[in-house]
Structure 1
């Protein structure tokens, strides 16, 4: 990983070394015209995040205006202070379908800006472009089809994924789920403009209903979010009365929960916490793999999660600077509640000392994973192989995934803390769960557990004895 913003949500900001950079992807429609690099990268020449944001806002305003002018044919180059694009490659003349896509994207940007004059101007220029093809019906149809959105369902998928800032694993999932829907549509001869509520319902019935409920929700979420992007950018035309923020046509598409015959004493199988015997195997069993350098990262990460309840991504991306005396200071995470301070268990101090010694404040505790493109995915695959090799697995008929995984360490911590008699509110604060909004006393009036309560809760969780 080349660089990392200490506050990962900072739009278009990239901290490399001690200097902020502005980094923005050039829209496909603009890149098709100007060529050159696919990203704008400008050194902001400041380490101050406030000043970086100010300079970012100036550049973002300039790029937005220039992108629109390029798409509308008013200019052919992008000029920004401190940015030197490479020479644009030579290319063959654009065909009518490509011009149709470019003008549709220009119209979408005009809609997004809310500029009525710009919208009318783009429509007039697009009409002039269509007239250029005269009596050539094939070319005129190709242009009009592209301009009216008769595109493949996943035509805008990469542009969408580049704007939402999802984690690499989630990005891959979204790409796969939307891609599956695109293949289904192509097999039915459906283009993007023909996907309405009726076709969406058919897809849900044929492809989503048979899936596991968790996968159903994930699949519908991916489609709804993609269509929200399409609507907001003007890539699809909504029926009269539909809101651009509704997620049409996927809003209200309830999936069928396919039940199974339930026998007395049976229950739906869900992912679970590790048992103490499984924890012993994970921590103390002889190393079973051919990669001895993996042992330290896997055993250490597992131990940290077992004794803090931290999520996989939180453990792997800990900085040396996140170790604050006897506390892990987690500054960001999956939810708002994920930013928290977690006591460092007595049994973790040797690991923390070993992994912080001699490192700079911005180094990772798990430095061996920093060079990986997706540290979480890489580690997850290694942990799965290790877990299965030491005999920790729980496969059930009809369930795709094992009922135990790295998250089972987090469940184990929560279970042990509960068995030690600590209140659920204290445990939730340690593991980074949102407070229960229905519980006014604890979510509104109470201001959280004391440091002593947090330390006592973590300290009462004990690892099982060795094998």
Structure 2
């Protein structure tokens, strides 16, 4: 049943024939505050009490925030959001009007007293005004509470929780929003969904290279794409009318052929596979070289993911389900050693445990990747181009090497794609190592051989290592 100002008892209770405001104190503050804060309104009219209660509620909540150490900024926005939700749920115009009146009363209360700014030079009379910060906060409170102003990142947390992307991509979402809010502050643009129209989006795009100095257009376009995805999510929920970021991209310079990331050469593979490092790094490199798998899915393997002669890799990129890759015969001793005496839920690589910090966006493989980079450089495997952040050879070069070697062994392209998880149509490998497709995949994997670790690089490898390219 709809509540009106004559029936709404939220935050109110009767005491001695008159109404008073009552606000619950969170349980974690009960050691220093009463369980409820109360303030009399000195009226026996419920309708009047509903008009008077809002600024009192705001004051009591401010007292709670001070006890917790909360900021004024967080408090007034939180209160405004609560008021906006009440206004949205109101069932009658009478109830809506009472809440709107309460919003205006609360906004006026936030202004505080006038103070003397100076004197009028012409007539010598004092000039009084509200404190600028209080005035700005009060205006923001009223606009948010009335639904005329939606903070640009209000729904961003819910959006991030809905994503099924890698932590690295979520970190791009966070950085993109950080840059957008910084630009709003610099340009004096209201950081609201209502203020970010197509024109503002274009201005932000043009300013982004200066906001994020030193980053390549490729990285900056990732930020624009992440903002576009957020706006698409908002559009589906009717929080915005349209995706203002659609089609906005910065021009990206073409990468010369000899500056593209590439597979390891045979000589580089020999250096990596014979260098002095830990046993778990050697195991990691060999699994990468003989599966074409990405580093994070390897480091995340459990003992149960290595049964029945296949690896079960967790989904990556745009994969919708786990991926099956036959275990190369050369890897069987490694798997047997790493699984012996362990339970099915134990990690295959306990040397690189999951990130413990709550809320961290780092992948489990973060430390493994850094350690590999340090090791790779220590054995002289590097290919740095001036102006490029990443070496042209990196851990992903094992994946490129696997694909290139399988192609040179005349393996069917669609089978290679199935093994490494590239986008393809048609059949996918089953969960168990049976059936013709899995046998084809096994032949593909076995066709890839590690280079002889005793021999030197061939003349071709010495002269043209960049020819070893992979999709």
Give me the TM-score of the superposition, normalised by structure 1: 0.66
Name the residue aligned to 2:46: none
Name the residue aligned to 1:54: none
1:233 is displaced (CA, Å) by 6.2
Q: CA, structure 1 residues 359+110, in 2 after alignment: closer, same or farther (shift >3 Å)?
A: farther
Name the residue aligned to 1:227: 231
1:175 is displaced (CA, Å) by 1.6
Q: CA, structure 1 residues 273+146, in 2 after alignment: closer, same or farther (shift >3 Å)?
A: same
1:415 is displaced (CA, Å) by 0.6
1:302 is displaced (CA, Å) by 1.3
- Distance in 1 (CA, whole Å) between partners of 2:24 and 2:235 is 24
Instruction: Establish whether residue 190 from structure 1 lines up as the match of residue 189 from structure 2.
Output: yes
RMSD between aligned alpha carbons? 3.9
1:285 is displaced (CA, Å) by 1.7
Name the residue aligned to 2:388: 399
Name the residue aligned to 1:180: 179
Name the residue aligned to 1:131: 105
Instruction: Establish whether residue 168 from structure 1 lines up as the match of residue 142 from structure 2.
Output: no
- Contact kept, 8 Å, 1:185 with 1:191, in 2: the verdict is yes
- Contact kept, 8 Å, 2:152 with 2:191, in 1: the verdict is yes
Name the residue aligned to 1:456: 443
- State which drifts further: 305-314 or 137-146: 137-146
1:339 is displaced (CA, Å) by 2.2
- Contact kept, 8 Å, 1:283 with 1:299, in 2: the verdict is yes
Name the residue aligned to 2:264: 274
Report the 3-state secondary structure (helix = DSSP H, G, I; strand = E; otherwise coil) of the residue aligned with 2:367: helix
1:171 is displaced (CA, Å) by 2.5
- Distance in 2 (CA, whole Å) between partners of 1:99 and 1:387 is 52
Q: CA, structure 1 residues 108+369, in 2 after alignment: closer, same or farther (shift >3 Å)?
A: farther
Q: CA, structure 1 residues 120+160, in 2 after alignment: closer, same or farther (shift >3 Å)?
A: farther
Report the 3-state secondary structure (helix = DSSP H, G, I; strand = E; otherwise coil) of the residue aligned with 2:290: helix
Instruction: Establish whether residue 381 from structure 1 lines up as the match of residue 382 from structure 2.
Output: no
1:323 is displaced (CA, Å) by 1.3
Name the residue aligned to 2:399: 410
- Distance in 1 (CA, whole Å) between partners of 2:176 and 2:377 is 28
Report the 3-state secondary structure (helix = DSSP H, G, I; strand = E; otherwise coil) of the residue aligned with 2:250: coil
Instruction: Establish whether residue 286 from structure 1 lines up as the match of residue 276 from structure 2.
Output: yes
- Contact kept, 8 Å, 2:407 with 2:413, in 1: the verdict is yes
Name the residue aligned to 1:98: 75
1:435 is displaced (CA, Å) by 1.0
Q: CA, structure 1 residues 35+155, in 2 after alignment: closer, same or farther (shift >3 Å)?
A: farther
1:341 is displaced (CA, Å) by 1.8
One of 135, 138, 141 as aligned partner of 2:139: 141
1:337 is displaced (CA, Å) by 6.0
- Contact kept, 8 Å, 1:393 with 1:403, in 2: the verdict is yes
Q: CA, structure 1 residues 449+34, in 2 after alignment: closer, same or farther (shift >3 Å)?
A: farther
- Distance in 1 (CA, whole Å) between partners of 2:447 and 2:86 is 57
Query: Which ranges of structure 1 fall in alignment gaps of 5 or more residues?
Result: 1-31, 38-72, 77-86, 261-265, 288-294, 437-441
- Distance in 1 (CA, whole Å) between partners of 2:92 and 2:271 is 66
Structure of larger gyration radius: 2
- Contact kept, 8 Å, 1:36 with 1:89, in 2: the verdict is no
Name the residue aligned to 2:250: 255
Report the 3-state secondary structure (helix = DSSP H, G, I; strand = E; otherwise coil) of the residue aligned with 1:367: coil
Name the residue aligned to 1:350: 333
Report the 3-state secondary structure (helix = DSSP H, G, I; strand = E; otherwise coil) of the residue aligned with 2:324: strand
Q: CA, structure 1 residues 275+422, in 2 after alignment: closer, same or farther (shift >3 Å)?
A: same
Report the 3-state secondary structure (helix = DSSP H, G, I; strand = E; otherwise coil) of the residue aligned with 1:335: coil
- Distance in 1 (CA, whole Å) between partners of 2:93 and 2:427 is 47
- Contact kept, 8 Å, 2:84 with 2:144, in 1: the verdict is no
